[in-house]
Structure 1
């Protein structure tokens, strides 16, 4: 069952989260406003022609597990590597962030602004609709958040983990992650996440928390070339 993680975005977009997606049996994307991620049933052989009608010129997307030249009508803007990690620890005994508040549509502009400032990964105005998101506030100001993005089978992704630079070093993001991990484990789900391979500090932290490396993936940012 863990093989679902080999192409987890496709399984999510064609399965439990297909109501948040657009595309065909050959290519799917999160609908505009959600996280800018695309996926294909054969990740190593993507059908960008099938995807193109669902993308506007100039749109940028993240795509995993594909290497090779850019197809006609597309440009490769960035290539890097990321590690997919799955939870291998025990269920946390307590809620590490009882003071966290659930985020809803009214918090979406603040969540997007925090993500654009800290760049935790692909994020859109409606990303917090993909799962449970929690935030820590200073007054009415959102200063840290973490939530759930893709889901496939029993696997639930922890994503959007970030803290405003003025509040870093206080363990806020870790507490939010532990809250999510506990909730997922109690639901019988397996938490997983993605982290850039070059982010040695985050990799070490997540391993200490109880995550184990599943495998490394290539990730690219591609854009639809304007006509």
Structure 2
């Protein structure tokens, strides 16, 4: 890829193709950049690594706000932005469809909605699977495994759902399991369910996972996901006082 040029494959830049495509209703969008509404997700996107795209992203972002941009390489932003962190993600695409797994004994599979957001946010705070906000659940299908016999009442034991959606593919995201329910294959069950329903809708399932999370990489391989590429996660703050 030449310097500044847009990535050729939509999945090299999935959030741009989601924001400028099927998920435009959840976007603040300029001609060459976009970001999700703040209550939906902190993810942002550039069409290309050019001054014009950065100008558009800046116009969509308030001073002090943070956005996360996936890109094939580490970005070198203009002086009005500063790096706040990041890392490297492996993008995996499901090449072999798998039948969905059944819920383990004692747990109930249910679709999640706005009424479940408080428990979803509690689980995210406990497990830190990645960015998830009050309206993230509106982006697609989210499924949870519930323990209806928990002493405090029905407890959300694990969840997974759909985040970025392009014209032909949909991301499996927010894979998290409550510590009390780990080592029971709950993440594997939920990813298989969401991936199967994604494929039934005519979309190719894909996901992102830290390159250091070897256990998750192996789990996703067992579900037919194969590594496609590495992407740099650029967590960027628009610095106050710049224009």
Instruction: Return the TM-score normalized by structure 2.
Output: 0.86
Aligned pairs for 1:182-193 (under 5 A) are 182-193=196-207
Mark the CA change 1:186 to 1:74 in structure 2 (over 3 Å): closer, same or farther: same
Question: Which residue does 1:89 correspond to in 2?
Answer: 96
Is residue 112 from structure 1 mapped to residue 117 from structure 2 by the alignment? Answer: no
Is residue 197 from structure 1 mapped to residue 197 from structure 2 by the alignment? Answer: no
Aligned pairs for 1:52-91 (under 5 A) are 52-65=58-71, 66-91=73-98
Question: Which residue does 1:147 correspond to in 2?
Answer: 161
Q: State the Cα distance separating 1:95 from its structure 2 match.
A: 4.9
Computed over aligned residues only, the root mean square deviation of the Cα atoms, in angstroms, reads 1.8
Mark the CA change 1:191 to 1:45 in structure 2 (over 3 Å): closer, same or farther: same
Total equivalences in the alignment: 224
Aligned pairs for 1:158-177 (under 5 A) are 158-177=172-191
8 A contact 1:95–1:182 mirrored in 2: no
In structure 1, list runs of 5 or more residues that go unmatched: none
Report the 3-state secondary structure (helix = DSSP H, G, I; strand = E; otherwise coil) of the residue aligned with 1:100: strand
8 A contact 1:91–1:186 mirrored in 2: no
Q: State the Cα distance separating 1:50 from its structure 2 match.
A: 1.5
Mark the CA change 1:171 to 1:220 in structure 2 (over 3 Å): closer, same or farther: same
Is residue 224 from structure 1 mapped to residue 238 from structure 2 by the alignment? Answer: yes
In structure 2, list runs of 5 or more residues that go unmatched: 1-7, 149-153
Report the 3-state secondary structure (helix = DSSP H, G, I; strand = E; otherwise coil) of the residue aligned with 2:78: coil
Moved over 6 A (4+): none
Query: Which residue, out of 129, 133, 137, partners 1:128?
Result: 137
CA offsets 1:103-153 (integer angstroms, 9 cap, x no match): 111111221221122111121111010000011122322121000001112
